[in-house]
Amino acid sequence: MSHKLIAPSLLAADFANLQRDIELINTSEADWFHIDIMDGVFVPNISFGMPVLKAITAHAKKFIDVHLMIVDPDRYIKEFADLGADMLTVHYEACTHLHRSLQSIKQHGMQAGVALNPHTNIELLRDCISDIDMVCLMSVNPGFGGQHFIERTYEKVKQLKALITAENATTKIEIDGGVTNKNAKQLVDVGADVLVAGSYIFKAEHPLDTIVDLKKMINT
């Protein structure tokens, strides 16, 4: 069984103490940094832009997982590569030519991820699943942190896992939204590989211990 990963979401960090929270993740048992880029158009919120991402990647010492919740992501692929993204995830719903977007991400030296909104059917990825390094299933409606987990997600993970297996792909499954100790183990049991946790980690009294506990839970 492959090692399951925790990717704390910086959207839930304290923006006034961003460097402190980045160092916290650097020293923690967490595996990745998950960074949401929102444009206020694709989702009803605006988060980090390029200058903040540049500051984050200057301090972050772990794998940088960038999730673009923006329209027309193709315009910025080179820029995100230059800023140090290791994985660049675009939304299926924002890409008219998904295959081209995936090729472009890889040509710029990054791994390519595709995110699906809660209502988007995973069957839509069948034709290009072998070109996708990771599928990010949104388990809340994208745009804001701290939302409640959508229960239907378990079923989607199972369907996606079956699709990946059927197509003989090596695609990872990431879950983004509402992840806590109440659902982490169950998500991994049905096929998830990477869990994004935001508020659950950063709002915890002891974030480092919270990460350790989550890691233990999903890797036993």
Residue 65 is which amino acid? D
83 confidence band (pLDDT: 50, 70, 90): very high
Query: Considering its fold, how many domains does the chain have in total?
Result: 1
**Average pLDDT for the chain:** 95
All residues at 6 or more sequence positions from 189 whose CB lies less than 8 Å from its CB, including other chains: none
Distance CA 124, CA 113 (A): 14
- The tokens for 45 are 């919120």
- Domain range for 15 is 5-218
Q: Is 36 a catalytic residue?
A: yes
User: pTM for this structure?
Assistant: 0.96
| Coil, strand or helix at 177 | coil
CATH number at residue 91: 3.20.20.70
Helices (H), ranges, 36-166: 50-59, 77-82, 98-107, 153-166
Of 65, 131, 176, 193, which residue is the catalytic one?
176
Confidence category of residue 47, pLDDT binned at 50, 70, 90: confident
Give residues with Cβ within 8 angstroms of 72, minimum separation 6: 94
Residue 212 has pLDDT above 70, yes or no: yes
Q: At 220, list the tokens.
A: 């036993």
Choosing from 36, 65, 133, 193, which is the catalytic residue? 36
Is residue 146's pLDDT more than 80?
A: no
Percent of the chain whose pLDDT exceeds 90: 90
Place of tokens 């919120």: 45
